[in-house]
């Protein structure tokens, strides 16, 4: 019973994290998107390896508005 409760609590967090990763990677691959530092490969690594923090960093400070 405890395992099922824990799974039900963590599932929304995991889905939000996955959605943020997918949206961030989609946004990053747009040809007209400019990023801070000019290196999209570094941002891919940050998004993928820093779980929840990576996509949030990209969305808040990584994108440059043209």
pLDDT in tens, 2-61: 788 988 999 999 999 999 999 999 999 999 999 998 899 999 999 999 988 999 999 999
Domain ranges of the chain: 2-64
| pLDDT digits 0-9 by tens, 25-37 | 999 999 999 999 8
**49-65 b/e with 16+ CB inside 10 Å = b?**
eeeeebbbbbeeebbee
The number of beta carbons lying within 10 Å of the beta carbon of residue 25 is 15
């Amino acid at each position: 019973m405890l395992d099922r409760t824990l799974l039900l609590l963590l599932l929304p967090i995991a889905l939000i994290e996955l959605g943020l990763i997918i949206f961030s990677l989609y946004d990053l691959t747009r040809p007209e998107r400019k990023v801070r530092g000019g290196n999209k490969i570094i941002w891919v690594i940050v998004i993928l390896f820093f779980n929840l923090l990576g996509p949030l960093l990209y969305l808040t400070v990584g994108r440059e508005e043209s």
